[in-house]
Structure 1
C-alpha cells in the first residue's frame, strides 16, 4: 500500500509541475519576436552565402 501511495503522490507532483510549466501548451522557450528575428537572420545568412558562392564561381571562371 505504501508503494502505491508513493507512486500516486509522485504522479500528482509530476502532474502539478507539468501544469505549472504550461501543460505543453507553450511554443517553446524562445518568444515569437525572437524567433522572427532568428528567421530573418538565417535568411540573411543564406543570402550572403549564396552571394559569396556566386562571387567565388565568377572568380574561378575568370581564371580559366
Structure 2
C-alpha cells in the first residue's frame, strides 16, 4: 500500500512539473529567454564563420 502511495505521489509531482513547464504548449525544455540567447549566439557564430570564409578567399 505504501508503494502505491509513493507511485501516486511521484506521478502527481511529475504532473505538476510538466504543467509548470508549459505542458503540451511547450515546444522545448529550454526557457524562452535562454532559447532567444541561443538563437542570437547562433547568428553571431554564422557571421564569424562567413567572415572567416571571406578572409580565406582573400588570401588566395
TM-score tier by shorter-chain length is 0.5 to 0.7
TM (norm. structure 2) is 0.66
Of 15, 19, 35, 1:23 maps to 15
1:42 shift after superposition: 0.8
* Partner residue, 1:58: 54
Structure 2 unmatched runs, 5+: none
Stretches (4+) displaced over 2 A:
22-28
TM (norm. structure 1) is 0.63
Mapped to 1, the partners of 2:49 and 2:38 lie a distance apart of: 16
Structure 1 unmatched runs, 5+: 1-7
The number of aligned residues is 52
1:52 shift after superposition: 0.4
Kindly indicate whether structure 1 or structure 2 has the higher relative contact order, using CA contacts under 8 Å at least 6 residues apart. Answer: 2
Which entry has the higher C-alpha Rg, 1 or 2? 1
1:63 shift after superposition: 0.2
